[in-house]
Amino acid sequence: MRDGRIPYILIEIIKFRFEDVGQFMDSIREWRHLSDKERDKRWSRLKKEHPEPSEYAAELLSDEYYIADRSERLMYGVLAVALTSAIEYSTLEICKATRVQIQKQKNDRTPKWKVIWDSIKKQSNILFDSIKGHKAVNKIRILNNCFKHNGGATNTELACEFPGEYEIGTDILYEKENWECLLKDCRTFILELASRMFCLED
């Protein structure tokens, strides 16, 4: 039996990856805050100079808000990709440390998500849905796939996994997701997965 203690360096690597994603999330929020602040200052200055701004000026302001909204959504879509990568690479490190064998596919730099999780299931019999945070990990995986492969629109899997939250074919409002909660739950899942795998019999 392993003693169940996760190597200190592995814990630090996992924490670092998720902290890195958290810093990216904070940067997006800070960018939006500063962007809105500067835009509001410009609009306020314009109104002082021209008490009744032209229709053209109003359209320009509207365009600026639209561009900011689309940019923010794009950034949060990239955040989903970054969080997925943190999950995948952390899981690979856990597998390496616990000697779980994963078969790489030809021409793949890293094994695909399904290959990683199927390998863990076969060699450990761990039930992923019994680990706290599993739902968040699954959601991030699908949000990532929608962003990368479906133009940021809801696919069938997302609509089926989370009924009532998403409608097939509609744009996903990535900026409206509860990212703090998703990040925390995904980190909790990975650390708990590591703990369980280090308690398995050799």
What are the residue ranges of helices labelled H in 50-98?
A: 55-97
- The DSSP output letter for 5 is P
Domain ranges in the chain are: 8-197
- Tell me: pLDDT of 1 over 50: no
- Tell me: pLDDT of 7 over 90: no
**DSSP per position, 95-112:** HHHTT----PPTT-SS--
Q: Residue 120 in contact with residue 70, Cβ under 8 Å?
A: no
Quote the percentage of the chain above a pLDDT of 90: 61
Q: Residue 4 in contact with residue 198, Cβ under 8 Å?
A: yes
The pTM of the full predicted model, rounded to 2 decimals, is 0.88
Banded model confidence at residue 41, pLDDT cuts 50, 70, 90: confident
- Tell me: pLDDT of 202 over 50: no
Q: For residues 152 and 171, give the distance between their C-alpha atoms in angstroms, rounded to a whole number.
A: 6
Rounded average pLDDT over 178-197? 96
Q: For residues 152 and 174, give the distance between their C-alpha atoms in angstroms, rounded to a whole number.
A: 8
How much is the pLDDT for 81? 97
3-state class (DSSP) for residue 155: coil
Banded model confidence at residue 39, pLDDT cuts 50, 70, 90: confident
| Strand ranges in 87-178 using DSSP code E only, listed in sequence order | none
